[in-house]
Amino acid sequence: MKLYQALRNVDKFRTVFDFGGRDVAHWFPGHMAKGLKQMRASLRSVDCIIEIHDARIPFSGRNPVFQETLDVRPHVLILNKMDLADLSSKQRILKKLEKDGVRNVLFTDCLKQRHDNIKKLVPMVMEIIGSTPRFNRDENTNYCLMVIGVPNVGKSSLINSLRRTNLQKGRASRVGGEPGITKAVLTKIQVCERPIMHLLDTPGVLPPKIESVETGMKLALCGSILDHLVGEDIIADYLLYSLNRLGKFSYVEKYDLQEPSDDIQYLLKRIAVKLGKTQRVKAITGVGNITVTLPNYTAAAYDFIRAFRKGELGRVMLD
Ligand SMILES: Nc1nc2c(ncn2[C@@H]2O[C@H](COP(=O)(O)OP(=O)(O)OP(=O)(O)O)[C@@H](O)[C@H]2O)c(=O)[nH]1
């Protein structure tokens, strides 16, 4: 995509997104409150909290209930899916997090077979625990960590990655493409032999109250809220708005457009035609029956969102 071509359009892009008076209350399934309660109850036996969040939204959608635990236990924030994130402003992110009291941050890509930062986690945790008086069991050399995070952020993948790295063992935790796959509450899984370290895997929990519709939309875009609860069409529109705002125009070439567009209907039509996601519908008109070809907007929206989540539309920073 030629930059000058794209820049010609910049004035045409929306500068704010119209959420159309949406209410996020129903995006938070009730069963998550139960998960949170169980996690709180288990905190006593935990030496360190590993909070995992999406690197594309380092400030949005972290559960404030998790943040409360920061004062209670040592804490590491893992910003996962770094392969999908534009980390050119990494220093700004780290500074802002530090201002918010988050000092131990690690960026990870859990899909990589061997990732250096995954190797760093155990030593980092040991150092943090070592510099904090151990609360409950001075003599005990076994460590217990709790992994927390919003749905679909990669908790299971992290655990599997740690086991691969530290124990040369395979999968212990089921990885899923849909939010809410980790259903069994608090499974204890060993991730290291020396020292003996266990992790409590927890179900993904969303904040009880999502701070704004925009935060909800960012969580949805990153796959933490079931698409149909929010609506594929609006997620796709928010994605287009975000890509344009960030100047990420690789969708133009991918979908054979002439130039960037801010019109989601137009884009979805093009995607539907390109991918053959169209339906032939019989229409009865005043002059007889005709067959028209209609784009399947929902299927096209889904494809657009999926391409983004696979990283095919470029790396982004949504915060
Ligand atoms: N690109 C990318 N994808 C990842 C990464 N880590 C995990 N994923 C993918 O994200 C999806 C969710 O991963 P899981 O490990 O099941 O996430 P989870 O947090 O355990 O999910 P819940 O059980 O729903 O809470 C899967 O499709 C993973 O393959 C990463 O570092 N990069």
- Give the span between the Cα atoms of 201 and 174, in whole angstroms: 11
Residue 192 token pair: 């290291």
Q: Ligand 1 center to residue 152 CA distance, Å? A: 5
Q: Ligand 1 center to residue 15 CA distance, Å? A: 31
Atom of ligand 1 nearest to the CA of 203: 25
- Give the span between the Cα atoms of 253 and 113, in whole angstroms: 31
Name 54's bridge partners. Answer: 80
Are the C-beta atoms of residues 43 and 72 closer than 8 Å to each other? Answer: yes
Cβ within 8 Å of residue 194, ≥6 positions away: none
Q: Ligand 1 center to residue 178 CA distance, Å? A: 9
Chain segment 44-60, per-residue pLDDT in tens: 788 898 999 999 999 99
- Give the span between the Cα atoms of 164 and 176, in whole angstroms: 18
Longest dimension (CA), the chain: 88
The CATH number assigned to the domain with range 1-21+213-310 reads: 1.10.1580.10
| 60 annotated ligand binder | no
Nearest to 74 by CA among 107, 39, 102: 102
| Residue whose CA lies nearest to ligand 1 atom number 9 | 154
| 131 annotated ligand binder | no
Residue 266 pLDDT > 90: yes
Element (H, E) at 158: helix 155-167
Q: Ligand 1 center to residue 42 CA distance, Å? A: 24
| Residue whose CA lies nearest to ligand 1 atom number 10 | 154
Nearest to 200 by CA among 78, 80, 30, 40: 40
| 156 annotated ligand binder | yes
Chain segment 153-181, per-residue pLDDT in tens: 999 899 888 888 888 766 666 665 555 55
Residue range 107-118: average pLDDT? 85
Residue range 97-123: average pLDDT? 89
Element (H, E) at 235: helix 232-245
Q: Ligand 1 center to residue 279 CA distance, Å? A: 33
Nearest to 258 by CA among 248, 244, 270: 270
Atom of ligand 1 nearest to the CA of 179: 24
Place 229 in a pLDDT band, splitting at 50, 70 and 90.
confident
Domain boundaries, the chain: 1-21+213-310, 30-201
Q: How far is CA 111 from CA 13, 40, 53, 255, 319, in A?
A: 34, 29, 15, 27, 23
Name 107's bridge partners. Answer: 79
Atom of ligand 1 nearest to the CA of 176: 16
Nearest to 77 by CA among 93, 53, 101: 53
Residue range 121-143: average pLDDT? 77
Most confidently predicted of 22-31, 133-142, 224-233? 224-233
Residue 257 pLDDT > 70: yes
3-state secondary structure of 282: strand
Question: Around Cβ 297, how many Cβ atoms within 10 Å?
Answer: 18
Residue range 203-224: average pLDDT? 85
Q: What are phi and psi of 44, to 5 degrees?
A: -55, -40
- Give the span between the Cα atoms of 318 and 95, in whole angstroms: 17
Q: Ligand 1 center to residue 224 CA distance, Å? A: 10
Q: Which fold has domain 30-201?
A: Rossmann fold (3.40.50)
The reply to whether 1-21+213-310 and 30-201 are identical in fold is no
Name 201's bridge partners. Answer: 147, 187
Atom of ligand 1 nearest to the CA of 175: 16
| 155 annotated ligand binder | yes
| 105 annotated ligand binder | no
Atom of ligand 1 nearest to the CA of 180: 24
Ligand 1, CB within 6 Å, residue ranges: 80-81, 83-84, 109-111, 149, 151-157, 175-177, 179-182, 204
